Structure 1
Amino acid sequence: MKPLKSEKRSFIILCFFIIISLCIYASINEARLEDLLRFTRGCDAANNSSSTSSFSSLSTGGGDDIRILIGILTLPDQYLKRHFLRLVYGVQSVEGAKIDVKFIFCNLTKEDQKTLVALEIMRYDDIIILNCPENMNKGKTLTFFSSLPDLFNDTDRPYPPYHYVMKADDDTFLRLPNFVESLKPLPREDLYYGYVIPCRSMDPFKHYMSGMGYLVSWDIAEWIKESEIPRKHFEGPEDKVFGEWMREGRRGKNRFNGKWSMYNFPEPPTTCTHELWPDTIAVHLLKNQVKWIRTLKYFNFTASMKPSKLYHIP
């Protein structure tokens, strides 16, 4: 019986040491896990603190998210409009996409611009200044698209910086979640997307996309940079000219007409307008604050504002 008692005692001691070892191992791993979580939270805080940089969304690699560059063509002196649009696009939350919004204009010509625009760039990093004289129908669109590959392509990156590039007006309101949802089922190559004009047309292969905002895949931007077709003919109504490039170069084989989720503001009524409605992707011709406010109120744009004792807005 004594040998059995001795074996039992040895077994109990062995179990005790195993339990102690497991506790120590678990404690070590818990510490490691806590360190990892602390590190992750630190990274998140660092990312949040740098959220004013519009390039931060490109730092996570290829992934499955749609990568979109929205270039809003505007003028250097439109300071207040840019600040307003930063609010409009900055508060929109989008799942499944990384979107960079940039303001696009040509070379600065005034001393005050050189200071004020420089301050904007330092604060927001969301401005692209093209090497061109400011113009409407003499090649600004060509300069914008043809400049993009040199501005954003990186030989160390095995994938394009963006899937899509959009040219938009500064009087267009884009509802980014609806916009992204409309893109998810579409091809990511040779795509030409927008609102077909003339207004009565529904055929994106016969006509062209309105300047309120049209989007192309990145490969088309690269084609515009390399092709001689745009350089032979770039003066005139630039959105119509852009459509002519697509036709002559046999580009944009995948075309998507955004009507009637893209439309002009309903007043004054024309064949290009209809009432605001929930499935909206873009509203165009918001030429004054009254129209902007009516549009934002219709979509209950401030509904996600958190309550606080620091303010009261009835």
Structure 2
Amino acid sequence: MTSHTAKAYPLTRPPLRKYLFSPQLLLRPSIRLKTSLYTLSITIIILVILALNAATSRSGSNEVSGDVNTVPSHDSPADSGEGVDVAKGKDAHLVDEEIQRSFEEPDFSLLSSIQPHEIGCDVPLEGGRDKGVLMFLGIFSAADKRERRDLYRRVVIPDFPKEQFTIKFILGTPPFPENPIGQEAVARSMLMNKVEAEMREHGDMVMLPMIDNIDLGKTHEYFKWVAKEYSGQGRVKGRPRFVMKADDDTILVMPNIISGFKDLDCAENVYWGTSSGRSHYFGDYFRGLAYAMSWPLVSWIGNADMPLAHIIKIEDARTGQWLRHLDPVTDPVKRIDMGWTMGDWNQLDVGLETVALHWLKLDEWVIEQHKRLHELWESADRPYDIEHGIPPIQSMFKGKQTPESAQKEHQRQKELGWDVTGNLD
């Protein structure tokens, strides 16, 4: 019996067309292995390309930030304190393009709403009781600042006549903790109970419907509350001629406040405060230690439904930005700049012309500086009352003179490198 020689057939690969009509061929072990290898190789190549692109992007961004941002940045200017942190915290945001752009963009709600000259102010200057409330003074506070509020109730607020001033502490709600049933949540609940009891006791507090953070639009929410509280046609009981925002580390010199506002026409677009010591990065604005506006401006701003981007960040500069929306022909702004009669108490030449002292961080400083003001007036044989304020023209004249201590502080900040794109010039 003879055996047949085995024939060797050339190895053939099924054509691609056969795979399309017979997909089960892909399940063969050899095909699965090859497919896996091909897929793995392609994945590795894509990952390498992405990693190279990311490394290049990081390198480029580091070069840009090194050239532009000369100071450490913070997540929020509201998280920074006074002194060094204020300069570094706020000024660091001046180089943030998104924030910068939001201070330059127009706001449609401000442009399209009823303008201030259409709102007017129907409280007359003369006529006894018909003159109405001169000013609504909102002192920005926080839920956990009970001791500071009590100090102001005892020392500062009694200076102001109740028939001419409505004074309220302006609060937001404390932030909610991440754990709704933890110790922080219990502490927050106890704090809120104390605040509500304090509100019932004194009746001089406003709780705004927002988390308490000056950087998140608290000032606009304040103007919104005032505008709604005293809205209406014609005479509205308690409607103020002017509205002021002040910090809880500021003392306002009552006789000079009365003197400065009593003869102003609230139908005009009055914007009162100080530009001394502000950042020059933005346009005209008055520092947030204390500034005031007439009723038409507050009603116009408070009734504007602005997007979040146009109400957050650096609140005093925001107010200046809002006012730049006004038509200079139909709604000119009357800016009253008190200069260096308002500012940090340790940078001013304090005298009878002084209008406001700021940066009173310690309770002892509040007591000392308040006593100092009364002693100054007493030594000048001038009663500290509503009839004996210094004429505002005198205060404005003195305010144009930069105190020596303020000049030294200005130079110190520049030497420390706090100058960002010339904002301290």
Whether these two folds match at TM > 0.5 is yes
- TM-score for the superposition, normalised by structure 2: 0.50
Is 1:194 the equivalent of 2:273? yes
TM-score of the aligned structures, taking structure 1 as reference length: 0.67
The residue type equivalent to 1:181 in the other structure is S
Is 1:282 aligned to residue 356 of structure 2?
yes
In structure 1, the residue corresponding to 2:300 is in which secondary structure?
Answer: helix
User: Which residue does 2:287 correspond to in 1?
Assistant: 210
Distance between the aligned counterparts of 1:238 and 1:199, measured in 2? Answer: 12
Give the direction of change, closer, same or farther, for the CA distance of 1:286–1:300 in structure 2 (3 Å limit). same
Residue 224 of structure 1 contacts residue 230 of structure 1 at CA under 8 Å; is this kept in 2?
A: no
Bigger CA radius of gyration:
2
Between the aligned partners of 1:66 and 1:219, the Cα distance in structure 2 is 15
1:226 to 271, 283, 303: 303
Amino acid in the other structure paired with 2:248:
D
Q: Which residue of the other structure, out of 157, 161, 167, is the alignment partner of 1:101?
A: 167
Indicate if the aligned counterparts of 2:274 and 2:338 stay in contact, CA closer than 8 A: yes
The CA distance in 2 between the partners of 1:185 and 1:157, in whole Å, is: 20
Aligned 8 A contact 2:156 2:370 in 1: no
Paired with 1:141 and 1:243, the residues of 2 have a C-alpha distance of 12
Cα deviation, residue 80, structure 1: 0.2
Contact 1:69 1:100 (8 Å CA) reproduced: yes
Rounded Cα–Cα distance in structure 2 between residues aligned with 1:160 and 1:294:
33
**Alignment map for 1:60-209 (pairs within 5 Å):** 63-64=130-131, 66-94=133-161, 98-108=164-174, 110-153=188-231, 157-158=235-236, 161-189=239-267, 190-199=269-278, 207-209=284-286
- Residue 88 of structure 1: how far off its partner (Å): 2.5
What value does the CA root-mean-square deviation take over the aligned residues? 3.0
Aligned 1:35-74 pairs, distance under 5 A: 63-64=130-131, 66-74=133-141
> In 2 relative to 1, CA 206–139 (structure 1 residues): closer, same or farther, beyond 3 Å?
closer
Higher share of residues assigned helix: 2
State the Cα distance separating 1:162 from its structure 2 match.
Answer: 0.7
* Residues 120-164 of structure 1 deviation map (CA, whole Å, 9 limit, x = unaligned): 111210000001111121111111111212223356845771111
Check conservation: 2:285, 2:320, Cα contact below 8 A. yes
- How far apart, CA to CA, are the structure 2 residues paired with 1:79 and 1:240? 28
Question: Which structure would you say has the larger RCO, counting Cα contacts within 8 Å and 6 or more residues apart?
Answer: 2
CA distance in 2, matches of 1:62, 1:139: 35
Find the partner of 1:258 among 325, 338, 342. Answer: 338
Q: Percent identity?
A: 26
Greater mean deviation of Cα atoms: 237-246 or 176-185: 176-185
Q: Tell me, which stretches of 5 or more residues in structure 1 are unaligned?
A: 1-59, 267-272, 305-314
List per-residue Cα deviations over 1:226-246 (Å, max 9, x = no partner): 335575511221111111111
Number of aligned residue pairs: 235
